[in-house]
């Protein structure tokens, strides 16, 4: 028999959890809940790290944690601090007993691990944070800097991209510094004239807010909460990856309809656990992180990394913002998951620390992962798919105001990118091969880069079984019915000063590639006899047709059916909670009509020898545009993400 357990701020953990006698803490309910049970949390503020004791047994026998209908429930990883004492001017001091933190003191823990980067001589940052009325501060190196905080140029540069509540010069001067002693942690903070004893002053004390202590607690739903202010650590793919919330190496979680913010590093983690490696490159210093990451794939297979035990999570309709590293992160544990209808913004724009694992969504080994209809903006990087992007689909998303929108790194495909708006100045970076791009708008530059010094795995279709591994030569990509806009004539493809390919508009970066598989095989046949060396200098084919290139955007020389437009205006505009695509297109645009494409129209990728398919193995269906309109087969429609787009002036709501 299933039960409904209730939690309320007026309850007691000695109660029975009924509606009449609710528990006081969510953890008390978590210790009681069995498969099929629902934990209903009533309105109020809960300061605890929820650590579920059990998981569900199946999709129909889950354990569900939900906010009561119509009630606002906040779960925080922070504690309110009072008793601040003036320390001169606008600076206040608090002496916090270390007993408050237990075994984990964020102010003593550095932001550290594989692929974190500190300039030589730069002070280390810590996982601690201070908040005034919900707004986080900046850490400074010493007590003197609390009196005279430095102006943060990177914040000033991003003012126009920040929401109204932080578009304020004070954002550059709210700072803190801490010293950790044997019994007390002393925190100095510059509150810029506010009284922290009468306003809400908080510090983070817990690593996570909703995260199991052990793996394999499956089939848990977390719904309708505000989750905030966790001291979550740096989460590279070669380490344990705890977030503010996440399943901790399990299967079948649903995280939906939550507001999640102020994770020191990562908000939602669907990533790996520690037994497959934990910062060995940093701790041991004997092998590169790349090698340890490669080893982690095989280690994970040995402990049951497969569809039956790991992944298949659903993350939907969440609002995620103000996190230092990632909105959603995962390596290995993200397989077979769906991420849809989320609003992700203000990720890693404080720039307190830097590393190579940052993005609104940052996934490794995104096998059969669907990233669909998300709004991602004002992030250091919108979405970064790294290693083993295979069977993945990035569909109907809206990207804008990011430093970069989409980056796919050292993957062999097949992966499908369709009906997205990439509205930022840098739309797409490919250090990969084996992609298919159908009906997208690229408003910014593309960058194409081979990676010949890192061989990465590819898999049997729709499986975690490793089929082989290879370096990234580039190419083996497909482009059909996309719009490439480029108004800055200075952005032309070429070679940068360091020998790397420079970004440019359109597909001209592929000009040296063959335009068909037959041409590719002919180039191989023309090489001197031998085995692998015959392939070293032969570029892979690129298949491109029916794309629209505007202004400075140039087509691939092997492209067929391309349309060139001299000039047009394309922009993404926010108005309150809505997002619009505004275009001014010449009459020639109406000639760019494209038939509906499906997986059978896309040549299989070369290395994985795999087709573009749905997760069930059927051919990919690509017949829904960004607005949700169906594109009927046999009825040509406009190129780009909106089938109804026409010449002239248009203003179409896309979110």
Could you give the count of Cα atoms lying within 13 Å of 508 in the half-sphere of its Cβ? 18
Burial class (CB in 10 A: 0-12, 13-18, 19+), 616: exposed
CA distance 136 to 126: 14
Q: Does residue 122 lie in a domain region?
A: yes
CB count within 10 Å of CB 167 equals 12
With 80 as the cut, is the pLDDT of residue 151 above it? Answer: no
Does residue 86 sit in the same domain as residue 147?
A: yes
The reported pLDDT for the residue numbered 633 is 87
Domain span at residue 151? 79-204
The reported pLDDT for the residue numbered 318 is 99
Residue 124 sits at the vertex; the CA angle it makes with 162 and 271, to the nearest 5 degrees, is 70
DSSP assignment of 246-258: --SS-B--EEES-
Backbone phi, psi, residue 213, to 5°: -80, -20
Burial class (CB in 10 A: 0-12, 13-18, 19+), 67: buried
With 70 as the cut, is the pLDDT of residue 157 above it? Answer: no
Structure-block tokens of residue 433:
């091969």
DSSP 296: H
Q: Does residue 102 lie in a domain region?
A: yes
CA distance 187 to 562: 61
Does residue 193 sit in the same domain as residue 158?
A: yes
With 50 as the cut, is the pLDDT of residue 4 above it? Answer: yes
DSSP assignment of 102-146: TT--TTTSBS-STTEE--TTPPPPBS--EEETTEE-EE-SSHHHH
Quote the pTM value: 0.95
Cβ(250)–Cβ(199) under 8 Å? no
The reported pLDDT for the residue numbered 1 is 78
Kindly report the length of the chain.
655
pLDDT in tens, 636-652: 999 999 999 999 999 99
With 90 as the cut, is the pLDDT of residue 500 above it? Answer: no
Terminal-to-terminal C-alpha distance of the chain: 42
CA distance 313 to 219: 9
Q: Does residue 465 lie in a domain region?
A: no
Total tally of structural domains belonging to the chain: 2
pLDDT in tens, 399-426: 999 999 999 999 999 999 999 999 999 9
The reported pLDDT for the residue numbered 491 is 53
Cβ(180)–Cβ(127) under 8 Å? no
With 80 as the cut, is the pLDDT of residue 167 above it? Answer: no
H helix count then E strand count, the chain: 6, 53
Does residue 136 sit in the same domain as residue 190?
A: yes
Which residue reads 């998303």 in tokens? 397
The reported pLDDT for the residue numbered 541 is 98
Which of 65, 90, 108 finishes a domain? Answer: 65
Q: Which of 32-41, 209-218, 425-434, 559-568 has the lowest mean pLDDT?
A: 559-568
Does residue 90 sit in the same domain as residue 124?
A: yes
| Stretch (H or E) spanning 147 | helix 143-147
DSSP 350: S
Does residue 155 sit in the same domain as residue 97?
A: yes
pLDDT in tens, 48-60: 999 999 999 999 9
CA distance 141 to 58: 49
With 80 as the cut, is the pLDDT of residue 161 above it? Answer: no
CA distance 620 to 349: 36
Q: What is the CATH number of the domain that holds 53?
A: 3.30.1910
Q: Which residue has the higher pLDDT, 167 or 363?
A: 363
Residue spans of alpha helices (H) in 326-373: none
With 50 as the cut, is the pLDDT of residue 162 above it? Answer: no
The reported pLDDT for the residue numbered 503 is 87
Residues facing residue 137 across a β-bridge: none
CA distance 128 to 571: 39
With 90 as the cut, is the pLDDT of residue 154 above it? Answer: no
Which of 204, 232, 263 finishes a domain? Answer: 204
The reported pLDDT for the residue numbered 488 is 66
With 50 as the cut, is the pLDDT of residue 496 above it? Answer: no
Mean pLDDT of the chain: 94
With 50 as the cut, is the pLDDT of residue 163 above it? Answer: no
With 70 as the cut, is the pLDDT of residue 166 above it? Answer: no
23-28: long-range pairs with CB below 8 Å, 24+: 26/50, 26/65, 26/75, 27/51
Q: Does residue 582 lie in a domain region?
A: no
Cβ(98)–Cβ(184) under 8 Å? yes
Q: Does residue 301 lie in a domain region?
A: no
Closest listed residue to residue 75, CA positions, set 281, 259, 339? 259
Which residue reads 């400074």 in tokens? 140
Q: What is the CATH number of the domain that holds 105?
A: 2.60.40.1180
With 60 as the cut, is the pLDDT of residue 497 above it? Answer: no
Which residue reads 């939906």 in tokens? 256
Percent with pLDDT over 70 in the chain: 95
CB count within 10 Å of CB 292 equals 24
The reported pLDDT for the residue numbered 495 is 44
Residue spans of alpha helices (H) in 150-256: 153-157
pLDDT in tens, 607-643: 999 999 999 999 999 999 999 999 988 899 999 999 9
DSSP 268: E
CA distance 180 to 582: 53
Does residue 59 sit in the same domain as residue 101?
A: no
Q: Beta strand pairing status for 621-622 and 597-598?
A: antiparallel
Percent with pLDDT over 90 in the chain: 91
User: Rg of the chain's alpha carbons, rounded to an integer?
Assistant: 26
Residue 361 sits at the vertex; the CA angle it makes with 357 and 367, to the nearest 5 degrees, is 95
Which of 176, 204, 232 finishes a domain? Answer: 204
Indicate the pLDDT class of residue 156, thresholds 50, 70 and 90: very low
The reported pLDDT for the residue numbered 117 is 95
Residue 257 sits at the vertex; the CA angle it makes with 383 and 78, to the nearest 5 degrees, is 85
Q: Does residue 398 lie in a domain region?
A: no
Average pLDDT over residues 235-244: 98
Cβ(461)–Cβ(608) under 8 Å? yes
The reported pLDDT for the residue numbered 490 is 55
Beta-carbon contacts of 191 under 8 Å, excluding residues fewer than 6 positions away, are 90, 91, 92, 132, 174, 201
Beta-carbon contacts of 96 under 8 Å, excluding residues fewer than 6 positions away, are 81, 184, 185, 186, 187, 203
Closest listed residue to residue 508, CA positions, set 494, 490, 495? 494
CA distance 615 to 367: 10
Does residue 21 sit in the same domain as residue 90?
A: no
Give CA 277 to chain center in angstroms. Answer: 22
Does residue 38 sit in the same domain as residue 120?
A: no
pLDDT in tens, 334-381: 999 999 999 999 999 999 999 999 999 999 999 999 999 999 999 999
CA distance 101 to 547: 57
For the chain, percent helix, then strand, then coil, each to nearest 5?
Answer: 10, 35, 50
Cβ(310)–Cβ(330) under 8 Å? no
Q: Beta strand pairing status for 451-459 and 398-400?
A: unpaired
Q: Which of 114-128, 233-247, 497-511 has the lowest mean pLDDT?
A: 497-511
CA distance 645 to 466: 42
With 80 as the cut, is the pLDDT of residue 489 above it? Answer: no
Q: Does residue 299 lie in a domain region?
A: no
Q: How far is CA 282 from CA 122, 290, 394, 404, in A?
A: 17, 12, 33, 28
Burial 511-537 (b: 16+ CB within 10 A, else e): eebbbeeeebeebeeeeeeeeeeeeee
Does residue 85 sit in the same domain as residue 199?
A: yes
Average pLDDT over residues 540-549: 98
Residue spans of alpha helices (H) in 183-311: 280-284, 289-302
Average pLDDT over residues 140-165: 61
Residues facing residue 480 across a β-bridge: 438, 545
The reported pLDDT for the residue numbered 499 is 42
CA distance 381 to 552: 24
Does residue 55 sit in the same domain as residue 94?
A: no
Average pLDDT over residues 199-222: 98
Q: Which of 5-19, 29-43, 170-184, 368-382 has the lowest mean pLDDT?
A: 170-184
Q: Does residue 558 lie in a domain region?
A: no
CA distance 298 to 305: 9
């Amino acid at each position: 028999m299933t039960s409904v357990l209730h939690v309320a701020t007026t309850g007691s953990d000695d109660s029975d959890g009924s509606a009449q006698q609710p528990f006081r803490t969510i953890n008390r309910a978590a210790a009681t809940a069995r498969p099929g049970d629902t934990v209903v949390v009533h309105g109020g503020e809960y300061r605890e790290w929820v650590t579920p004791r059990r998981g569900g047994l199946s999709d129909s026998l889950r354990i569900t944690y939900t906010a009561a209908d119509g009630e606002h429930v906040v779960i925080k990883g922070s504690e309110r601090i009072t008793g601040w004492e003036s320390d001169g001017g606008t600076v206040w001091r608090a002496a916090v007993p270390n007993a408050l933190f237990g075994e984990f003191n964020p102010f003593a823990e550095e932001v550290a691990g594989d692929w974190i980067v500190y300039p030589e001589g730069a002070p280390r940052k810590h996982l601690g944070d201070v908040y005034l009325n919900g707004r986080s501060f900046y850490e400074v190196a010493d007590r003197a800097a609390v009196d005279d905080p430095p102006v943060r140029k990177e914040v000033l540069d991003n003012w126009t991209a920040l929401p109204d509540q932080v578009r304020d010069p004070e954002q550059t001067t709210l700072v803190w510094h801490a010293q950790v002693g044997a019994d007390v942690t002393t925190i100095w903070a510059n509150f810029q004239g506010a009284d922290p004893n009468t306003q809400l002053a908080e510090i983070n004390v817990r690593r996570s807010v909703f995260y199991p202590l052990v793996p394999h607690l499956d089939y848990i739903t977390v719904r309708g909460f505000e989750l905030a202010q966790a001291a979550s650590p740096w989460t590279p793919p070669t380490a344990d990856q705890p977030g503010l919330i996440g399943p901790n190496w399990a299967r079948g979680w649903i995280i939906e309809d939550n507001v999640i913010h102020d994770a020191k590093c990562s908000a939602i983690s669907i990533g790996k656990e520690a037994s497959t490696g934990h910062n060995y490159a940093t701790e041991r210093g004997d092998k590169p992180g790349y090698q340890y990451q490669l080893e982690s794939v095989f280690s994970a297979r040995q402990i049951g990394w497969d569809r039956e035990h790991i992944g298949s999570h659903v993350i939907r309709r969440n609002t995620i913002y103000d996190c230092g590293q990632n909105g959603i992160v995962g390596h290995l544990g993200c397989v077979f998951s769906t991420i849809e209808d989320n609003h992700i913004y203000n990720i890693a724009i404080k720039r307190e620390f830097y590393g190579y694992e940052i993005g609104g969504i940052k996934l490794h080994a995104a096998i059969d992962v669907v990233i669909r209809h998300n709004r991602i903006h004002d992030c250091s990087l919108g979405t970064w798919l790294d290693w083993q992007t295979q069977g993945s689909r990035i569909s109907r998303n809206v990207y804008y105001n990011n430093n970069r929108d989409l980056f796919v790194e050292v993957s062999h495909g097949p992966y499908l990118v369709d009906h997205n708006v990439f509205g930022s100045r840098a739309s797409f970076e490919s250090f990969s091969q084996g992609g298919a791009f159908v009906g997208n708008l690229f408003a910014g530059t593309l960058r194409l880069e081979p990676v010949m010094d890192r061989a990465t795995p590819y898999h049997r279709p729709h499986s975690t079984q490793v089929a082989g591994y290879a370096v990234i030569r580039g190419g083996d990509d497909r482009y059909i019915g996309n719009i490439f806009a480029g108004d800055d004539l200075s952005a032309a493809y070429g070679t940068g000063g360091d020998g790397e390919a420079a970004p440019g508009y359109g597909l001209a970066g592929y000009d040296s590639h063959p335009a068909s598989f037959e041409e590719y095989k002919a180039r191989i046949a023309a090489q001197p006899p031998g085995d692998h060396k015959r392939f070293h200098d032969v570029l892979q084919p690129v298949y491109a047709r029916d794309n629209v290139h505007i202004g400075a955007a140039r087509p691939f020389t092997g492209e067929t059916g391309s349309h060139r437009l001299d000039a047009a205006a394309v922009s993404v505009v926010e108005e309150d909670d809505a997002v619009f695509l505004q275009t001014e297109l010449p009459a020639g645009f109406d000639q760019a009509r494209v038939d509906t494409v499906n997986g059978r129209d896309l040549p299989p990728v070369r290395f994985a020898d795999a087709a573009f398919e749905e997760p069930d193995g059927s051919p990919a269906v690509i017949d829904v545009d960004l607005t949700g309109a169906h594109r009927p087969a046999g009825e040509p429609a406009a190129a780009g993400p909106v089938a109804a787009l026409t010449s002239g002036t248009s203003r179409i709501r896309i979110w």
